[in-house]
Amino acid sequence: MPKFFSQEWIGEYVKAINESEDYEKAAKGWEGDFLFVVEPDEEGEPLYAYIDLYHGKARKGFVVKDPSQINAAFEFRGKLSNWKKLLKGEIDPIKGLITGKFKLKGSMAMVMRYAKAAKVLVDLTKKVETEW
């Protein structure tokens, strides 16, 4: 079982995205790469992952060691405990943003417009068995 935000996990997740018709439909016009950030709940270092999403597909995805090397159009960050809730379906990305559990950098217009695509992206994480 791949560990959350490991290279193996990201690889399987990218595969799940690219196999999803729902995502392809919901994110038909989407253009924008993401830096996802998992902040530790207490001590420790943050985890980073980069995924390039384009017209309903993920063009590439990898674990990031040095975020200063990445210049993504969007950044979505939150605490590990909130990521767990998100992946368990207890909150969805828009609710997470509205309630301040996640922070977003990048075009608000794009993200709000693709609210459904964001939800599908989260739903797809369920296809990846995850070790926390």
Partner 1 sequence: MLISNFGGGKLFAYANKILRINLNGEIKEIELNENLAKYFIGGSGLAAYYLYKMKIYDFEAFSAKNVVAMFNGPLTGTKAPSTSRLEFCAKSPLTEIWGESNVGGKMAAFLKFAGWDGVIIEGQSDKPVYIYINENGAEIRSANGIWGKGCYEAQKAIEKEIKERRLSTAVIGQAGENLVRYACIQVDNSRHAGRTGIGAVLGAKKIKGIAVSYDTKHEIEIADSSKFEEEIKALNERIKDNFTCNMLKELGTAGYVESAEMFGDLPVKYFTQGTFDKASEISGSKMAQTFLKTNDGCFGCSIKCGRVVEIDGKIIHGPEYETIASFGSLQLIDDLRSLIEINYLLNDYGMDSISSGVVIAYAMWLSERNIHDFGIKWGDVEGVKKFIRDIAFKKGDGAILAEGVRRVGKKFKDENAAHVKGLEIPMHDPRAFSSLAIAYAAHNRGACHLPHQMYNVEMGLKIKEYGIISKDRFSSESKGIITARMQNYAEIFNCATMCVFVPIKPTQMANLLKFATGFNFDVNKIYTIGERIYNLKRMFNVRCGIKAGDDVLPKIVLQPLKGGSEENVPDLELQKKEYYKERRWSEEGIPTREKLEELEIAWTLESS
* Residue ranges binding partner 1 (CB under 8 A): 91, 94-101, 103-104, 108-110, 112-116, 119
Please report how close the Cβ of residue 54 comes to partner 1 at its closest, in angstroms: 18
Q: Which helix (H) or strand (E) holds 17?
A: helix 7-18
Cβ neighbours of residue 71 closer than 8 Å, sequence gap 6 or more: none
Nearer to partner 1, 50 or 114 (CB): 114
Are β-strands 102-105 and 57-64 bridged in parallel, bridged antiparallel, or unpaired? unpaired
Please report how close the Cβ of residue 129 comes to partner 1 at its closest, in angstroms: 26
Q: Which two tokens stand for residue 10?
A: 């990201």
Nearer to partner 1, 61 or 96 (CB): 96
Closest alpha carbon to 22 in 103, 132, 116:
116
Beta-ladder partners of 47: 38
Please report how close the Cβ of residue 10 comes to partner 1 at its closest, in angstroms: 25
Nearer to partner 1, 1 or 112 (CB): 112
